[in-house]
């Protein structure tokens, strides 16, 4: 048993993961922006956060998994078009976001939030803004791109991730729809 498994709390979040080929395409597009500010997020960490849980008692993780196991989407496969480059000044991040969030994504997030209510994990009620973070500590204007962003993040499952020392590790995943 390693030290990590004895940690009493884990930083957790639910997300839609990116396929490896899509990570590579987004990273190449970001590279062409020639960013002069911020710290690029490693491509292996690209994801679209559904719900950030924060520090969670490891004793609660199994129960959280059971609570969200019944969450399903109305779509068998969810597609989110990441077609807008934006800077969130307050957070200091450069993000790819959808111009229009699909209703199935918003419903999935709502259902996750409802399933998690009994755990009292809600730190503050924040409006859900779907995005994929490209860079942190970003303090410049929105960079210009010769090629407009248009990435189709397609998911047939959602994942519970642990954030540990800058790395994300999948702990469990659930299909968006039962077969």
Active site residues: 47, 131
CA dist., res. 124 & res. 4, Å (int): 28
Number of Cβ atoms within 10 Å of the Cβ of 77: 12
The DSSP 8-state label assigned to residue 2 in this structure reads -
Contact predicate 47/22, CB 8 Å:
no
Can you list the alpha helix ranges (DSSP code H) found in 50-160? 61-68, 103-116
Closest CA to 119 of 175, 68, 160: 68
Token output for 150: 């248009």
Residue 121, phi then psi, degrees to nearest 5? -90, -5
Token output for 94: 């450069």
């Amino acid at each position: 048993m390693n030290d990590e498994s004895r940690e009493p709390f884990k930083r957790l979040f639910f997300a839609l993961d990116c396929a490896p080929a899509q990570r590579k395409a987004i990273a190449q597009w970001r590279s062409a922006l020639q960013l002069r500010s911020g710290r690029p997020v490693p491509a292996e960490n690209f994801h679209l956060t559904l719900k950030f849980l924060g520090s969670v008692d490891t004793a609660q993780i199994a129960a959280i998994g059971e609570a969200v196991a019944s969450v399903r989407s109305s779509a068998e496969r969810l597609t989110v078009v990441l077609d807008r480059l934006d800077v969130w000044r307050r957070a200091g991040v450069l993000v790819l976001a959808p111009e229009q969030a699909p209703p199935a994504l918003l419903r999935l997030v709502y259902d996750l939030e409802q399933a998690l209510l009994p755990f009292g994990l809600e730190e503050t009620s924040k409006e859900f803004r779907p995005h994929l973070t490209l860079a942190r500590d970003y303090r410049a204007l929105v960079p210009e791109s010769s090629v407009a962003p248009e990435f189709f993040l397609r998911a047939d499952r959602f994942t519970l991730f642990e954030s540990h020392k800058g790395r994300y590790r999948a702990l469990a995943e659930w299909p968006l729809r039962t077969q």
